[in-house]
Structure 1
Amino acid sequence: MAMAARTLALAFPLPLCAVSSPRRATPLALPRRGAARPLASLAQCPARGHSPSPRRAAGRALAPCAAMRGSGRGGGGGGEEFASDDGGGARALLRATLWGAEAAYILWLFLLPYAPGDPVWGISQATISDLIGLSLNFFLILPLLNSAFLIPYMAIRLNDPDKDKSPPQTSKLGSVMVRGAPIVGLTGGLVCILSIAWALFGRADASFGGIAERWRYVQSYVFSERLAYAFLWDILLYSIFQPWLIADNIQNVKASATEFVNSVRFLPVIGLVAYLFCLEDRDD
């Protein structure tokens, strides 16, 4: 009997986990069938009154109680529960900032009467005529509507992608637009140069004055008309959005021009023209 008890004690040593009561720490060498059994578990410290049979516990490694107590709340799978969210918090904050900017843009330039010129609810017929005329001058783009749509677009781009949805294939229209991007870029660059030259020297024989007089007129016009004032905000916002958009789509640029486009993307006109001219047509 003593020999059997010693054999049992060697086969099932005391566990590393502390027992709940000194009374339960009965030596395993007792020659009784109801003696305390080793509390071995791979996952957790056993509760009182729950202990596996010696046959199931044989050959298993004994884990300390502290192994699970330090693995995080909720008894989950260790430290994986507190893994990084891969920038999700920063994206959510940036998305909220953009929607806040959209609300401020609408309030300040559309509704409130504090900016120069008339708000939308008090717009005059003369302002409507100017709106149509400026639209013809700006490639049929209505002033006051540029950043009103561009800001929400930048915010929607930050939404979490649908992992269950496969990416859409490039449509024929999209492929044609990419192939024609160099033409659009060069045309826009030429129009920009022509516009600057026209602003400085156009109609020199019509008593429009020199560069200093024209500059003073621009200042008085911008700070008296809501449409021109809004265009200043559009230029400022697009100067921020253009480098952002180009950086997010730099993989679509030809490999030989990637470094150049990445370096000039902060220059409003040059960066946009370079990006459009260097786009690579990808049918995949």
Structure 2
Amino acid sequence: GKGLPPRQEKRSNVASLGFALAAAVYTSALILSPPDSLPFVPGEGLFWIKPETLEEIKGSSFNFFYVAPALQSLGIDLPLVPQPLPAYHPVNEALFNLVNAWSLMFLPLLLRDTKSEGMNKTGWWSVQMFLTNAVLMPFLALRAVNSEPTVAQVKASRDKSGNHKLLSKSFGVIGAVVGAASLWWFAFARPELGGDLASRVEYFERYATTDRVAFAFCVDLCLYSIWQPFLISAVERDEGLTPDASKFVPFFGLCKWLQTSSGLKLFDKR
């Protein structure tokens, strides 16, 4: 990045190259590769995807964050939502919503990150909600070589910090609720489709090793477990926060960190 000492600039360039290569491997292996072209990647790539897979992705979107099923259980029907709701194996639905909830919680984290000032963080995140690490890793590559924020950018970021921190709290609550709901959904929802817990675990193992979308979601969970403490540590340095070990706990550590490291008094443990 511009304005950095030569040694630090070199490290930034190396980090950017690493993120870019990781993004290229992710996209080529998990999204674009043909069936059976890689021994460790199951299922079909984008250009060979089956119509029933597309239909399931579309149908799962009606179960986004379990809002429609929850409202329908109260007798409330949403417009544009089919009746009855499409129902898929609860393990599929739980994995879909868990990944989306984690993606959601990255927004307040990115907004509080000063290293990426000047980048269209909301725009990048909006696409990340659909394409996960295929978008987040290129963002991190550009972030690594992003110019140091100007005084005006830092001031503008601080002026918005109250809104960003309020967003942290609200997104942390939403993430925690959806995450807990996903664990319940995995274990207990739709017993006519999922069976008992042992059957669901067995199904998950088979699903994750034979279906491209499921395999990619599992890779997303692993990568998010790395980027979460990486970005939190950057924000902690920027904001002078005491490092919080919960950042190393996948998913729920981010829920907790967004709550207790927001700089707002409500619910904070300071």
Q: Would the TM-score normalized by the shorter structure come out above 0.5?
A: yes
Indicate the residue corresponding to 2:208 in structure 1: 222
Q: Is residue 261 of structure 2 the alignment partner of residue 275 of structure 1?
A: no
Deviations 1:183-242 (A, max 9, x none): 2202211211121122112234x2632221111111111122211111011111111100
Name the residue aligned to 1:184.
Answer: 171
1-structure distance, mates of 2:174, 2:152: 35
Tell me the equivalent position of 1:96.
17
Match of 1:130 in 2: 56
Q: 1:144, 1:231 within 8 Å by CA — same for their partners in 2?
A: no
User: Alpha carbons of 1:96 and 1:172: their partners in 2 closer, same or farther (altered >3 Å)?
Assistant: same
Q: How far apart, CA to CA, are the structure 1 residues paired with 2:132 and 2:218?
A: 11
Deviation at 1:165, TM superposition (A): 7.0
Q: Equivalences for 1:43-122 in 2 at 5 Å?
A: 85-113=6-34, 114=37, 115-122=41-48
User: Secondary structure at the residue paired with 1:229?
Assistant: helix
Question: For residues 257-276 of structure 1, what are the alpha-carbon distances to aligned partners after superposition, in whole Å with 9 as ceiling and x for unaligned?
Answer: x34xx211110123211221
Distance in 1 of aligned mates of 2:176 and 2:18: 32
CA distance in 2, matches of 1:207, 1:110: 28
Equivalent residue in structure 1 for 2:236, among 226, 250, 261: 250
Aligned AA (2:253): G
Return the index of the structure with the highest Cα Rg: 1
Q: Which moved more, 1:216-225 or 1:98-107?
A: 216-225
Higher relative contact order (CA 8 A, sep 6+): 2
Percent identical? 25
Structure 1 counterpart SS, 2:6: coil
The answer to whether the 8 A contact 1:188-1:273 is kept is yes
The 5 Å alignment of 1:133-282 reads: 133-135=59-61, 136-137=63-64, 138=97, 139=100, 145-162=131-148, 166-167=152-153, 169-170=156-157, 175-204=162-191, 206=192, 208-251=194-237, 255=241, 258-259=242-243, 262-277=244-259, 278-280=261-263
Deviation at 1:87, TM superposition (A): 2.8
Q: What residue identity is the alignment partner of 1:217?
A: Y
- More helix per residue: 1 or 2? 2
The question of whether the paired residues in 1 share the 8 Å contact of 2:43 and 2:211 is answered with: yes
What is the CA RMSD across the aligned residues, in angstroms?
2.8
- Kindly state the Cα deviation for residue 144 of structure 1 after the two structures are TM-superposed: 6.7
Contact kept in structure 2, 1:95 and 1:155, CA below 8 Å = yes
CA distance in 2, matches of 1:276, 1:144: 22
Under a length normalisation based on structure 2, what TM-score does the superposition of the two structures give? 0.62
Counterpart residue identity of residue 250, structure 2: P
Aligned amino acid, residue 276 of structure 1: L
C-alpha distance in 1 between matches for 2:236 and 2:195:
44
Task: Kindly provide the amino acid, as one letter, of the partner of residue 10 in structure 2.
Answer: G
| Ranges in structure 1 where 5+ consecutive residues have no aligned partner | 1-83
Aligned residues: 193
Q: CA deviation at 1:250?
A: 0.8
